[in-house]
Amino acid sequence: MALEDLQHNFLTGRIEDLVKWARRASVWPATFGLACCAIEMMAAGAADYDLSRYGMEVFRNSPRQADLMIVAGRVSQKMAPVLRQVYDQMMEPKWVISMGVCASTGGMFNNYAIVQGVDQIVPVDVYAPGCPPSPETLMHAILTLHEQIRTGEIMKRRESGTPTHLGHDNGNWTPEVPVSVRLGTPK
Amino acid sequence: MIALPARSPEGVITSEGLACDLLCFATIEQYPKLVRAFKNAGFQMAIDVCGVDYLEQMDRPLPEGVVATRFEVVVNLLNMVKKERVRIRVQAGTDNPEVASLFDLYPGVEAMEREAYDMFGILFSKHPDMTRILMPEDWEGHPLRKDYGVGRVPVQFKEAPGPR
Amino acid sequence: MTDRIRTAPRPDLLVVETSEGAQGLQSRSETSKDELGREVGSVLRVSGLTLDPNDVDFDRQDDETMIINMGPAHPSTHGVLRLMLELDGEFVLRTKPVIGYLHTGMEKTGEQLTYTQGATNVTRMDYVSPIANELNYSMAVEKLLGIEVPERAIWIRMMMAELNRIVSHLVWMATNGMDLGATSMMIYGFRERELVLAFFEKTAGLRLNLNYVRPGGVAADLPDGWQDDVAVICETIDARTYEYDQLLTGQPIFRERMVGVAPITAEEAIALSVTGPVLRSTGVAWDLRRAMPYLAYDQVEFDVIVGTYGDNFDRYAIRLNEIRESVKIVRQCLDMMPKGDYRVQDPKVTPPPRARIGESMEALIHHFKLFTEGMQVPVGEVYSAVESPRGELGCYLVSDGSSKPYRLHVRGPSFVNLQAIPLLMRGGSLSDAITVISTVDPIMGEVDR
């Protein structure tokens, strides 16, 4: 039987699965390039690596149109409030990839100027290692995130509580108020 | 090694510097006049201005006659015609370092002097815009001073395997 | 003391977390005539601070103009540059860059790392041309140590620096194209860049932040068959520059936005300490590779590209042609590469070969000492400079005789060139502001360090 003989094509599925499938296939990243990693992020979007295979080639300049913030590079104390503001402007559902060791832990710059891990300011879903991560590493992080979206829950808002790796009893975690922003002068 | 330009202030001590044509040591008073003399002698460009904090190096080797102070301002000038470089080390004071701004002579030092102020707290009098440049506006202290901590946060690895 | 520091006229503004108070552009009523003259650049044309009253539109009122904020998360500011612009309709009157959003404290971190480790730190400053940073730092350390690197190391360094210049200018071509809406240029620029980065990865193990040039030489010898790779790179890039030429140079929209837009004169550029392609676009043939040769630049043939009008188009043409000149230099390196050691065989400076560590106790001790304590550098201070793709990249290094620098200061060319932006933007339209940022080519990692 040829396809044109079919009168009605239809798929059935649970609405949850469909929503997750659709979300996963069109995650639009916000351009949040900070340092070295931003160059690799641009390379990932360009010819050789071609992020558009995953429905992600549209880097949105306005945070309100973006679903994913790729924090690409080191976050300074001066940048931290700006980063938080951009994150707050993004619509739910939203995800964060911390790209590179500087964004994830401060990296080799353990000093007064750099926020030691962007997870002190915004909740992070996937950490991409490397200094800078090659485009392949970034793509792996993105695919990991896709898998998280596919297997996650759709109705659950981002918890204002603890990120998973800290465990649920950690009382020090208050991401709604940016804790590390303007830490003040180290002594 | 080249000679000091005409109409340099008296008492400027010179020596042979590494990778430059002349190394001068100036006091706060001599500094603006010396730079003006160099500018008139054809040094068109102030290529670099930076501060140094010698808190732990008060007995550093200096030519005879130079009174060491805690802060130094180091200025690099460039003569693009004769292809010469001159470095001036200004002893900028110990407690409240303040030197004259070179903005009138070289407008290009504006950002570099602001950086020296931000990082070391060295004031540049007559600078048109003496504000912080790299650190947030409400930051306390000047990070590159030697008595300012690195701000190192101790690293703790979570779920790390125990000692073998 | 405090009365000489400018503070925000309205400290209550600082309650907003993202405001930077006095660092930003102040409204006209709070700006003195001198500052206004500085911001419009009129102090550059006359000696001293005597202003030409016709040059400063001092009589304008606050409500005639509008101050808008651009950045630090704006797509066309090439990173985290923040500009505050005062607009009269669509035209820019005053501009003030607010920087520091990528301040990494590298100069402080540099004081904590040994000379051996230092190259890892500086390579992350100008992340588009890391080799230039490493080269600059290594040359400063070598001057303090008083050592000469072997001939082969010099030529390897020169070749890598020029390949890096190609990469840097390609990224510039790509992002500049993207800013002007020529998206194909963006794809092309990054395509060719991958070609060179693959060679970097083969040689140094990383694509960016190579840590390849180190005090005493380079980290590793060139890989087997490097001649073929480099020959392919030269051939491809050289041919592709003519494609870019066809794509952009005659393109009417591109020309409209580049030719005659945002000119700067040689006097203004020199007064502002501007170096690199921005200075050369005004007709000043100042290139440290030619003027004060380092490495072996006096043994290769290349042209210093200069412009005439100092406008956006000249700055574009200089960078395009510098890619061709760099290819020329790389080809000469290919032919003239000498044989020999790729680093100094001085156990106090460079680690002994891997094979010797297993058999010689002395080599093992040297290796251990070098990587735990680092090398001892004699007391002294030095300023050394190289020509990075953006201008004079300088390094001021103070040593107290220990194994860590007492003070490491880097003169970033982008940091200084950024001062030309208010002057270039004045009188232009807001859309030209994008091209000005692009053609000055600031790399924020180097601006903020």
List, for residues C115-173, the tens digit of each pLDDT value.
888 888 899 888 889 999 999 999 999 999 988 899 999 999 999 999 999 999 999 99
In a domain, B85, yes or no: yes
Contact B131 C23 (CB under 8 A): yes
Clarify whether residues C192 and C303 are in a common domain. Answer: yes
In a domain, B132, yes or no: no
Clarify whether residues C336 and C201 are in a common domain. Answer: yes
* Predicted confidence (pLDDT) at residue A164 exceeds the cutoff of 50: no
The answer to whether C305 touches C321, Cβ cutoff 8 Å, is: yes
For chain B, the first-to-last Cα distance in angstroms comes to 61
CA-nearest residue to B141 within chain A is A185
Clarify whether residues C204 and C92 are in a common domain. Answer: no
Contact A184 B152 (CB under 8 A): no
* Overall average pLDDT of the C99-124 stretch: 89
In a domain, B148, yes or no: no
Question: Cα–Cα distances in Å, from C162 out to C55, C132, C168, C388?
Answer: 42, 9, 10, 10
- CB-nearest to B141 from A106, A165, A185 is A185
What is the distance between the alpha carbons of residues C181 and C375, in angstroms, rounded to a whole number?
50
**How does pLDDT run across B58-85, given as a tens digit for each residue?**
888 888 888 889 999 999 999 989 999 9
Give, as one character, the DSSP assignment of residue B85: E
Residues 102-161 in B contacting C (C-alpha not used; CB under 8 Å): 103-104, 106-112, 115, 117, 119, 123, 125, 128-138, 143-144, 150-151
* Predicted confidence (pLDDT) at residue A25 exceeds the cutoff of 70: yes
User: Is the minimum CB–CB distance between B45 and chain C shorter than 8 Å?
Assistant: yes
What is the distance between the alpha carbons of residues C4 and C344, in angstroms, rounded to a whole number?
51
In a domain, B24, yes or no: yes
Residues 58-117 in A contacting C (C-alpha not used; CB under 8 Å): 59, 61, 63, 73-74, 76-79, 81-83, 85-86, 108-114
Q: How far is C51 from chain B (nearest CA, A)?
A: 12
Could you tell me the domains of chain A? 29-153 (3.40.50.12280)
Domain CATH for C246? 1.10.645.10
In a domain, C255, yes or no: yes
In a domain, C363, yes or no: no
| Domain total of chain C | 2
In a domain, C176, yes or no: yes
In a domain, C171, yes or no: yes
**How does pLDDT run across C349-400, given as a tens digit for each residue?**
888 887 788 888 888 888 888 888 888 889 989 999 999 999 999 999 999 8
DSSP codes joined into one string, A23-79:
HHHTPPEE--B-SHHHHHHHHHHSTTT-GGGGT----BSSGGG-SEEEEES--BTTT
In a domain, C57, yes or no: yes
What is the distance between the alpha carbons of residues A166 and A178, in angstroms, rounded to a whole number?
17
User: A179: pLDDT confidence band, cut at 50, 70 and 90?
Assistant: very low
Q: How far is A14 from chain B (nearest CA, A)?
A: 38
Residues 6+ apart with CB under 8 A from A161: A168, A173
Q: What tokens were used for B127? A: 């600078």
What is the distance between the alpha carbons of residues C1 and C24, in angstroms, rounded to a whole number?
22
User: Helix, strand, coil shares of chain C as percentages rounded to 5?
Assistant: 50, 10, 35
Q: How far is C449 from chain A (nearest CA, A)?
A: 10
Clarify whether residues C158 and C76 are in a common domain. Answer: no
In a domain, B50, yes or no: yes
Query: What is the sign of the dihedral through the CA atoms of A158, A160, A166 and A169?
Result: negative
User: Is the minimum CB–CB distance between B92 and chain C shorter than 8 Å?
Assistant: no
| Domain total of chain B | 1
* Averaged pLDDT score across all residues of chain C: 85
In this structure, what are the phi and psi dihedrals at residue B14, rounded to the nearest 5 degrees? Answer: -115, 160
Clarify whether residues C167 and C305 are in a common domain. Answer: yes
- CB-nearest to A82 from C18, C121, C190 is C18
Question: Cα–Cα distances in Å, from C426 out to A110, B79, C91?
Answer: 40, 29, 8
Give, as one character, the DSSP assignment of residue C343: B
User: A187: pLDDT confidence band, cut at 50, 70 and 90?
Assistant: very low
**Mutate which: C78, C207, C243, C444, vs A, most A CBs within 10 A:** C207
Q: What tokens were used for A159? A: 């918890």
Clarify whether residues C227 and C290 are in a common domain. Answer: yes
What is the distance between the alpha carbons of residues B45 and B86, in angstroms, rounded to a whole number?
11
Parent domain of C89 = 2-98
In a domain, B96, yes or no: yes
Choose among C148, C209, C423: nearest CA to C310: C423
Domain CATH for B56? 3.30.460.80
In a domain, C118, yes or no: yes
Identify which of A51-55, C225-229, C425-429 has the greatest average pLDDT.
Answer: C225-229
Parent domain of B109 = 13-125
What is the distance between the alpha carbons of residues A103 and A127, in angstroms, rounded to a whole number?
9
The answer to whether C420 touches C274, Cβ cutoff 8 Å, is: yes
